[in-house]
Amino acid sequence: MLKIKQELQAGLHAALRELAPGTEMRAAFESPKVAAHGDFASTAAMQLSKPLKLNPRQVAERLRSLLLAQPAYHQWVSDIDIAGPGFLNIRLTPAAKQQVVREVLAAGDAFGHQPARGERMLVEFVSANPTGPLHVGHGRQAALGDAICNLNATQGWDVYREFYYNDAGVQIATLARSTQLRAQGFKPGDTQWPEAAYNGDYIADIAADFLARKTVSADDRSTTASGDVNDLDSIREFAVAYLRHEQDLDLQAFAVRFDNYYLESSLYTSGRVDATVELLQAAGKTFEQDGALWLRSTDYADDKDRVMRKSDGSYTYFVPDVAYHITKWERGFTRVVNIQGTDHHGTIARVRAGLQAANVGIPQGYPDYVLHTMVRVVRGGVEVKISKRSGAYVTLRDLIEWTSKDAVRFFLLSRKPDTEYVFDVDLALAKNNDNPVYYVQYAHARICSVLAGWGGDVAALPQVALDALQSPSAMALMLALAKFPDMLTAAAQDFAPHDVTFYLRDLAATYHSYYDAERILVDDEPVRLARLALVAATAQVLRSGLAVLGVDAPRKM
């Protein structure tokens, strides 16, 4: 049906050129708000009424005649209705809708995917400083980043996953000092314990392993503890490696991987920060005032100029961010997406201003940002705020252990990133239709049960006759399958993996309705095979959609 839609769009384009030569209008279809009104809709007649100086319905009548004369419309369209002020509602033939079943079964996992475009995209996400366990907010970011990578991979992008973290600075110094105090025998509540120190049980665990001179390995480093409580540098190095290892375990439990870990410290040791400042100075985009160096960011729509280098000689945090993003551009990433919390909103204008001021060829609007809110966790009807492991917040690993990787991913992706979300642990454990991930996974498992009961060769289903798929419930299911490619494209463009969760819930509901309306394993072989082909295609699309979210598609439940 995807090919049929493309043919119909080409026919619409030809009709528009004939009706209004010289008028540039995109030949696009919409989905009618009411399914009974048709399968595709066009508002072209209303858009052309003014330039043609005709009533919209008159334009619609002419356009309808031109469309019905097109070969593709003659083959695949049963009728075109004119509604309201000039809507064109297009009704497809049953044969047209049935084609989607063949397309899905033939393409398999690649259904809805676009060809490789030869461009590289970098998505930076999680990027948690190694000062404690990953919290639920990091989990939302991990789910978002991974799903956005998967979505854009379906659209032909060569996607690269990067984790950027601050391996120096005040927070790391606090981590080292907190661990040192624990190793010396002090604990939270003691008079020697600083108010700013980290209080979670994990600090005691790090201190114990440091004293035991253990070796810890993470994806990007390996360190053996010296065991010397007076060696703060050794404590710092060990604590960072320990927590990077813990973060790796969290991410493995969440089935999230990265291609690279980028250290903020490397921007200083490599001279990139100083080089970036020199670029901005050479471009005439800086000035000195009150002993500080400023960026003229108001030249690039920022609300005020920004301090780059403070009077004490240290750089403000957005300067290494600018240097870091120049490296992304130099590494060949034509599109960059940063997944961050809403507290980073203020950095967007100044980072983009710095990149434009550096004048190294980076386009405006680079990078893209997806900002997300934090997550509240409710268990037993009561909000859970503290984890013993962290000492201050619910960790990602807590949530996975309480529920499952699949539930956490699906739930955290089920709302727009900038929407507040309450994670209901009890709902995530429920095995009923109120639990959205269970509902979708059950639809897939239900189909697998039907196919197993049949026992035939699924590979032969793409060749079966589909004429028997004529019922309203079958038509609704085929139309739902046909929406998958456009949904993937739109969700990728909008960085909207929540659209995938909505689609999967709708598809599961449509399948459950079909299953309740029609028995699949009937005695009539042509009917049985046609229905099996339809449900096999549905299982494939459910699997593909869940894979984008990083959620499993179980065969049994």
Q: Which residue has the tokens 């979505």?
A: 151
Cα separation, 321 vs 165, whole angstroms: 11
User: Residue 388 — very low, low, confident or very high, per pLDDT cuts 50/70/90?
Assistant: low
Question: Where exactly are the structural domains of the chain?
Answer: 2-92, 176-242, 433-549
User: Rounded to the nearest 5°, which phi and psi values hold at 550?
Assistant: 75, 25
Cα separation, 54 vs 87, whole angstroms: 15
Compute how many other C-beta atoms are within 10 angstroms of the C-beta atom of residue 527: 17
- Mutual orientation of helices 484-493 and 525-549 as an angle, nearest 10°? 10
Residues 17-38 pLDDT 10s: 888 887 777 778 888 877 778 8
Structure tokens at 117: 């475009």
Cα separation, 226 vs 223, whole angstroms: 9
Averaged pLDDT for residues 420-425: 95
Residues 160-186 pLDDT 10s: 999 998 887 788 999 999 999 999 999
Instruction: Decide if 70 contacts 109 (C-beta within 8 A).
Output: no
Above 80 in pLDDT, residue 391? no
Averaged pLDDT for residues 114-121: 97
Superfamily of domain 433-549: Isoleucyl-tRNA Synthetase; Domain 1 (1.10.730.10)
Of 5, 8, 27, give the one whose Cα is nearest residue 73. Answer: 8
H or E stretch at 288: strand 286-289
- Three-state SS for 512-547 is HHHHHHCCCCCCCHHHHHHHHHHHHHHHHHHHHHHH
- CA 398 remoteness from chain centre: 22
Cα separation, 423 vs 196, whole angstroms: 29
Comparing 2-6, 59-63, 434-438, which segment has the lowest mean pLDDT? 2-6
Above 80 in pLDDT, residue 58? yes
Quote the pLDDT of residue 407. 98
- Three-state SS for 434-501 is CCHHHHHHHHHHHHHHHHHHHCCCHHHHHHCCCCCCCCHHHHHHHHHHHCHHHHHHHHHHCCCCHHHH
Residue 302 neighbours by CB under 8 Å, 6+ apart: 349, 350, 353
Instruction: Decide if 329 contacts 298 (C-beta within 8 A).
Output: no
- Mutual orientation of helices 347-358 and 318-330 as an angle, nearest 10°? 50
First CA to last CA across the chain, in angstroms?
Answer: 32
Q: Which CATH architecture has domain 2-92?
A: 2-Layer Sandwich (3.30)
Residues 318-375 pLDDT 10s: 999 999 999 999 999 999 999 999 988 889 999 999 999 999 999 999 999 999 998 9
Q: Which residue has the tokens 């025998």?
A: 185
Residue 360 neighbours by CB under 8 Å, 6+ apart: 279, 326, 329
Quote the pLDDT of residue 492. 98
Residues 467-514 pLDDT 10s: 999 999 999 999 999 999 999 999 999 999 999 999 999 999 999 999
